[in-house]
Structure 1
């Protein structure tokens, strides 16, 4: 007897992927086995080893860890955030080993695209979901290159990676990374702050001062003082160095003949 050939619509595969977070090949095979019945395909998946992955794939992942790895020559580095649902799983050795494998692979293979990295570990992620009973998400990562990279990770919840040039030492780079972790600057120098951001903040502070009944001239002086504080909050070089509050980061860099070229800071679960 001739075997019946079942044609599976691509939209059906897409819908099954959306509902289960399982790969295209697995979804197509499940639909063929279920004669194109979407609900039966899901039931069959749940009966198999993919059951937990189907059930957990839509859960919010706000716990997890931040990890950083840098090559031995200090010129190429990666920082990554991988999420799970609870701190309990975040501290589990299996989850941490998965994260370690992901970041080392990304480093060694010089992967720059999050989609490529997620696809690379799709099967391992699915297996881990089934094992730990929580959704797992390779959320984001950043690649930095430079003359000398430094990094710092605070409790797996805040990570920093910095690229610099000049008379750099590993200890100094670690201290600068720790400063960025604590003070959370958005830009390296004042010139890096977009003009529209400066104008908007200046206008807001001027309006506040004028509405308090101050004259235009005094309002300008008040606004100038508040803008100085604004830059101190968001610009790395204008901040007092946490290891020596009597000097700014800018003064530190001048003293050691160092230039910060780039940095990235991740905080676990931010903007989710």
Structure 2
């Protein structure tokens, strides 16, 4: 039986499920509307979809380092209440999704959700999440996920806050595999991941700050200087100085280390490179905090 757009729209209106879920249900049940509704209910899709617009401000940010320290993954799984977030069953859901992320090389969250779920290839990751929502009785969704793979000359470190709501990963490249796998390098990535959790930098260094952001900061600083009555000839120089101070504050490398404010992260990296017998460069980092963008 041919499935029409009208049929799909009617099923969506009656169940609140997504268009693709409705189309699949109708195809599975040869266009039988009632059977398709039952199919969606058994899958937990209709129930989960109706909850999709609820606020999901609680949850867990899971993370793991693997491949002998060369790879790491983070995943933010949100739910509605702290009660569910602390529930053992919700923890198992996050563990299963993280296990899949370790197997997955998806470039982004959308691609990740579209993949067949590890251990249950008949359903996608997104379908697994919807079924999980039905079991918890709350809206559940994967908000963000990220994975780093550093390669032979790299090392990845992770920090996970004790409350499970904040995790960070950082990737470095060393001058050789021996330097990458040295204990000093392994200590370094842990220190930096912890630092990133505390200070929330926006980029590794000034090269990672979007040009439009710098231009906006320059305009604001110039406006402030004019409001303060500074001479027009001095305004650009004053504003440039403020932008430089801004960059030192919000980028990783010039920040004072949270464990010892007498040294910067750049100095920390150089010192640990020497201990490891080579050079180390910080490539990138990710910071996932529950509910933050």
Deviation at 1:29, TM superposition (A): 4.3
Aligned partner of 1:121 in structure 2 is 125
Q: How far is 1:30 from its partner?
A: 6.1
In the superposition, relative to structure 1, how do residues 152 and 11 fare at CA in structure 2: closer, same or farther (>3 Å)?
farther
Residues of 2 paired with 1:93 and 1:31: CA distance? 39
Residues 223 and 115 (structure 1), Cα distance of their counterparts in 2 relative to 1, 3 Å cut: closer
Counterpart position of 2:148: 144
The alignment of Structure 1 onto Structure 2 pairs a total of residues equal to 261
Tell me how far apart the structure 1 counterparts of residues 55 and 257 of structure 2 sit (CA, whole Å).
Answer: 37
Note if contact 1:165-1:259 (Cα within 8 Å) is conserved in structure 2.
yes
SS of 2:69's partner is coil
1:87 has 2:70 as partner: no
* In 1, Cα distance between equivalents of 2:40 and 2:125: 21
Question: Which residue, 251, 254, 261 being the options, matches 2:283?
Answer: 261
Change (3 A) 1:13 1:180: same
- Unaligned stretches of 5+ residues in structure 2: 115-123, 274-279
Judge conservation of contact 2:108–2:146 (CA < 8 Å) in 1.
Answer: no
2:255 corresponds to which of 236, 239, 243: 239
Whole-angstrom distance in 1 between the partners of 2:10 and 2:187: 51
In structure 2, how many angstroms separate the alpha carbons of the residues matched to 1:92 and 1:200?
A: 44
Q: Is residue 153 from structure 1 mapped to residue 152 from structure 2 by the alignment?
A: no
User: 1:120-151: CA deviations, max 9, x gaps?
Assistant: 32343233222110011122211212110001
Measured in 2, the distance between the counterparts of 1:171 and 1:256 equals 8
Q: Partner of 1:229: helix, strand, or coil?
A: helix
* Alpha-carbon distance in 2 for matches of 1:74, 1:106: 16
Ranges of 4+ aligned residues in structure 1 off by more than 6 Å: none
CA distance in 2 between counterparts of 1:17 and 1:34 reads 11
**Aligned alpha-carbon RMSD (Å):** 2.7
- TM-score (ref. length: structure 2): 0.78
Shift of 1:113: 4.5
Q: Which runs of 5+ in 1 are unaligned?
A: 1-5
Q: CA deviation at 1:214?
A: 1.4
